[in-house]
Amino acid sequence: MTSTSVASPSFGDLALLPAVLSAVKTLGYEIPSPIQIQTIPALLEGRDMLGQAQTGTGKTAAFALPILSRLELTRREPQVLVLAPTRELAQQVAVSFSKYGQNLQGLEVATLCGGQEYREQLGALKRGAQVVVGTPGRVIDHLDRGSLKLDGLTSLVLDEADEMLRMGFIDDVKRVVADTPKTAQRVFFSATLPTEIERIVNRYLVDPVKVAIESGTTTGENIEQRLVRVDGGAKLEALSRILEVEPVDGAIVFVRTRAACATLMEQLSARGVNVASLSGDLDQSLRERTIQRLKRGKVDVLIATDVAARGLDVPRITHVFNYDLPQDAEAYTHRIGRTGRAGRTGISITFVGFREGRKVGWIEQATGQKLSEMEVPDEAAIRAHRDEVFHQKVIAALTAGADEQRALVGRLVEEGYDPIELACSFARLARADEAPIGRMQAPRKETRNDRDGKPARREGGARDRGPSEGMTRYRVAVGHKDGVKPGQLVGALANEGGIEGARIGRIDIRTSFSVVELPNSLPASILAKMARARVAGRALEISEDSGAPERAPRRRREDGDAPIRRPSRA
């Protein structure tokens, strides 16, 4: 019996618009991924779809290519709306649409997310952007302003729907889905299918095509992968301790945003670390000079965004740190691939907040390897390491000889000083410049939601005790009267400020305002961006909390009320 192999289809077999197919070839794509093979034909037909897939499986191209092939470029109004849970993902998706549509004359892509000026977003919408990509909060804001209209929408895409649920955007998502024309195509992608997402699917999707794809991402076996459980306020101290104890030759520390890149570089530099930064706001010549300094040993630690996650090959990189978790398993793979190259071994250390266990699960599932848990070195371990380093220095000095010091030591001994006491004094003088060992923030205990067992933000903690170590309290102008939930605040602050949600501490929601803990190290520019975020239709107006109690509203006396009399003293 003979067997015949069936050749994988090419992009040319998928009936894409010629201009879109030309862009795909220009970008160097040849063979579509499994999810693209299964989704593109159905989406070209205008079918609704439910896709269960991780980012990193090629799902952005899976929905962008067929949607672009169906656009009416002469119609200057939003035809496609893509909702993404974070600013970073929204920007990535928008860039992908622009690349895939580079040959489409008249294509306009608008990105609606926090951290951007409204003027730029309003301009793109007024020019008649056919493709709109945004985060739920900012999209709702434009809907309320009337600057975004969904009347002409032909396709709605929810990317990482389960992540939007986790971040507290589910009410915003429901509103957008409900406001979308009934004739519009609805496409949902989600790594998991929580009950709430299934309800929306069953209510709004019509006879959807269902596709489930597992990521085939793998990592090198010569990279030892570890994780450290540490919350945002204690990350800096944890990183400093690990850098001191680990046998690091060169290291790359990955953060999520440019602002975090600049902040962490300043903090580590102040602690005496030989550090530089690399992010998308540097021009190409400066990037190349920074990489050359790293290669030559002029820089030991490079703080970088994902701009350094691909193509960077520096042989002396022994360690990669995921200071901020990446968006997806593919980005994780590219990050840690900066070490352990060309047959060498390497170590990756990933910082994981106490509410980020689910993300560790999808990394392990996608890579097929388990992350071994390591503890942050305690004070005893730091002292023992420093003692060993000093011990080796003393041995080296004895080997080299110290004839020029013998006369001084001999005179001190003759004056009656004990040799052991003298040695202790010399050691104390020699080690006087050692940095003090900082205190680590104790892990916060998370309360659990009775319904689903997931971690929930504690309310009321901020008024019962002082702020957590490394954190500052801020007051925001929404509270119980606005119907705000902790997850909404986390999502708005994280997206607008460009920080990860795990760095946001305790949240105390009160009647007319809320108190939120944020890291001490946040620059004023980030706080200013957070202040512009909107939740429940209101700007957060963030300001440092003075600790003043909330006053009950004074009752206004109406006509006809009896005068209010104070009780007389006996």
**Does the pLDDT at position 346 exceed 70?**
yes
CATH code of the domain containing 260: 3.40.50.300
Task: Dump pLDDT digits (tens) for 66-113.
Answer: 999 999 999 999 999 999 988 778 888 998 999 999 999 999 999 998
Q: Is the dihedral of CA 376, 379, 380, 385 positive or negative?
A: positive
Do 352 and 281 belong together in one domain? yes
Do 82 and 197 belong together in one domain? yes
Count each helix (H run) and each strand (E run) in the chain, helices first.
Answer: 20, 22
- Name the band, by pLDDT with cuts 50, 70 and 90, for residue 130: very high
Rounded mean pLDDT, 543-564: 55
Do 131 and 65 belong together in one domain? yes
Do 190 and 299 belong together in one domain? no
β-strand pairing of 455-456 with 447-448: antiparallel
- Which of 404 and 513 is assigned the larger pLDDT? 513
Q: Rounded to an integer, what distance in angstroms lies between the CA atom of residue 444 and that of residue 474?
A: 19
Establish how many alpha carbons lie within 13 A of residue 565's alpha carbon, considering only the half-sphere containing its beta carbon. 4
CATH code of the domain containing 508: 3.30.70.330
Do 41 and 150 belong together in one domain? yes
Task: Give the three-class secondary structure for 246.
Answer: coil
Specify the number of domains making up the chain. Answer: 4
Quick check: is 442 in a domain? Answer: no
Quick check: is 568 in a domain? Answer: no
DSSP 499: -
Q: What is the pLDDT of residue 83?
A: 95
Do 269 and 365 belong together in one domain? yes
Element holding 226 (H helix, E strand)? strand 223-229
Do 175 and 312 belong together in one domain? no
Do 423 and 463 belong together in one domain? no
Q: Which of 184, 212, 240 is the last residue of a domain?
A: 212
In sequence order, the 6+-apart residues with CB closer than 8 A to the CB of 229 are 352, 353, 354, 373, 443
Q: Rounded to an integer, what distance in angstroms lies between the CA atom of residue 525 and that of residue 259?
A: 9
Tokens describing residue 419: 């040799």
Which of 58-72, 313-327, 340-354, 545-559 has the weakest average pLDDT?
545-559
DSSP 461: H
Q: What is the pLDDT of residue 67?
A: 96
Give the type of residue at 249: D
DSSP 233: G
Do 74 and 197 belong together in one domain? yes
Q: What is the pTM of this model?
A: 0.51
Do 55 and 169 belong together in one domain? yes
- Domain span at residue 402 reads 379-430
Q: What is the pLDDT of residue 402?
A: 66
